[in-house]
Amino acid sequence: MKASLRARDQKLVQIVDTALADAAQRSGDWLVCRPGCTQCCLGPFAINQLDAARLRQGLAELQISEPEKARRIRGRARDYVRRIASDFPGNTKTGILGEGAEAEARFARLANDEPCPALDPATGLCELYAHRPITCRTFGPPVRSGDEGGLGVCELCYHGASDEQIAACEMIPDPDGIEAGLVKAVDKSTGVTGNTIVAFCLLK
């Protein structure tokens, strides 16, 4: 990722992380997300090319500071792709997910128990945590899906909270829509468009 895009992405990450901290404070004990809880790390999820570039940057930095850890992550990504390749609803050479109802239905059924390759199986911690996708930064607190969608929360959280109490904890990750513009800029810069998954992006 170009330095100018990286700086803008760091601003986005700061905004999202601040929104998460605010939602966590309002949520108190209802938000049970803790280091070692891996509920949101199982099964593939779509990430955009901005997320992919951030993850690759993190892996490149890890390659310098802790090359053995980086090697293990790449190994887990390679094994992951090999296991899911025959069912992957997209291009297995590029890792780009297909579009349309059929591809989405196939993706919903894909490898729901597969741990993310960035997850250290021994500790239950993300080894690329500082560079994780935006989706990972918003999982747990109430987040609205789409402009008029309902509030989604982690199934482990907000037990005993009323709908009104949950709504009072809503997280608004990117109120100014910065991410959409950055995704377009990264797509233009790299010439690659479309969503992928963590395992594929870590092989590049």
Provide block-wise average pLDDT over 10 residues at a time, the chain (204 residues). Answer: 90 97 96 92 96 98 98 98 96 96 95 95 96 95 79 92 96 95 95 97 91
Q: Give the pLDDT score at 204.
A: 79
- DSSP 3-state assignment of 64? helix
User: What angle, 0 to 180 degrees and rounded to 10, lies between the N-to-C axes of helices 178-190 and 3-27?
Assistant: 150
Q: What residue ranges do the domains of the chain occupy?
A: 3-22+42-129+173-201
Phi, psi of 21 (to 5 degrees): -60, -40
Q: Radius of gyration (Cα) for the chain, nearest Å? A: 17
So what's the pLDDT on residue 48? Answer: 97
- Give CA separation, 106 vs 99, 100, 109, 110, 185, in Å: 11, 10, 5, 6, 29
Q: In the prediction, which pLDDT does 3 show?
A: 84
Q: Are strands 119-120 and 125-126 parallel, antiparallel or unpaired?
A: antiparallel
**At 12, is the secondary structure helix, strand, or coil?**
helix
Is 15 in contact with 174 (CB distance < 8 Å)?
A: yes
List C-alpha distances in Å: 20 to 24, 66, 103, 125, 203.
Answer: 6, 28, 31, 18, 29
Q: What is the C-alpha to C-alpha distance for residues 113 and 39, in angstroms, rounded to an integer?
A: 10
Q: What pLDDT, on a 0 to 100 scale, did the predictor assign at position 38?
A: 93
